Amino acid sequence: MVTIYHTVRGYGQAELEINKSRFIAYVDRVTTEEAALAFIEKIRKQHWDATHNCAAYITGENDRQQKADDDGEPSGTAGRPILEVIKKSALSNTVVVITRYFGGIKLGAGGLVRAYGKSTTQGLAKAGIVQCQLHTRMAASFDYALLGTVENNLRNQQVQIADKLFTEQVTLIILAAAGEEDQLAAKLNDWTSGRVKIEQTGNEYVETNVCLPGLNG
């Protein structure tokens, strides 16, 4: 599994006018190629009367699925610029559709590339960017008398507690960054003088809002 990747926070939309043409950017997070294609089709049905609905997406493990579609614009002037902005921003699991209503003034190849690139950047900024970092869920069980000490130390170490279970002992479900499990287990043993039972129960990604250069909303 990928340890860290960046993607959009969720749905985003931005609109701008360039030389009387109206450009509307639609952005969303997707985890499969099928979801990306469904999103593109949804926007195309919504804007069936638009001059163009150009799109690009990146999905899959190691960004395996990548596709760009000019939808009638001159080859390489729409879909490719959209895809390049996504790639330059190092984003995964992201789909972008740029709807264009032609305003009567031709932009030329260079103007189209800039317009679609700018529209994509603004759409990504509206959607927001998150860093997804792989974490291991660790269940740490110990006596109630040690709860305050363990919680304080975890807080000082900026370790996230996902849940608390209260039975004969207290169990904290802790999220340890991938690769730091052994180090955290050693600290838990130190804080409890070895009176702790630790079990790894799975993996999940923890999201953190980030600001990437050029994508300030």
Least confident of 18-27, 55-64, 208-217: 208-217
Task: Quick: pLDDT tens for 108-122.
Answer: 999 999 999 999 999
Report the CATH number of the 4-127 domain: 3.30.230.30
Nearest to 58 by CA among 100, 29, 78, 99: 29
Nearest to 1 by CA among 203, 206, 207, 175: 203
Q: Which residue has the tokens 């927001």?
A: 128
CB 103 within 8 A of CB 20: yes
Task: Quick: pLDDT tens for 139-163.
Answer: 999 999 999 999 999 999 999 999 9
Residue 138 is predicted with a pLDDT of 97
C-alpha distances out from residue 174 to 5, 14, 36, 77, Å = 21, 38, 33, 48
Instruction: Please give the average per-residue pLDDT across 159-183, as a whole number.
Output: 96
Delimit the domains of the chain by residue range. 4-127, 134-210
Mean pLDDT of the chain: 95
Query: Hey, what CATH class is 134-210 in?
Result: alpha beta
Task: Quick: pLDDT tens for 63-87.
Answer: 889 999 999 999 999 999 999 999 9
Residue 14 is predicted with a pLDDT of 97
Residue 118 is predicted with a pLDDT of 96
| Residue 217 pLDDT grade (very low, low, confident, very high; cuts 50, 70, 90) | very low
Residue 214 is predicted with a pLDDT of 64
CB 132 within 8 A of CB 91: no
Residue 60 is predicted with a pLDDT of 87
Which secondary-structure segment (H or E) carries 148? Answer: helix 147-156
97 in the Ramachandran plot: left (φ > 0), alpha (ψ -120 to 50) or beta? beta
Q: Give the whole-number percent of the chain exceeding pLDDT 70.
A: 97
Task: Quick: pLDDT tens for 82-106.
Answer: 999 999 999 999 999 999 999 999 9
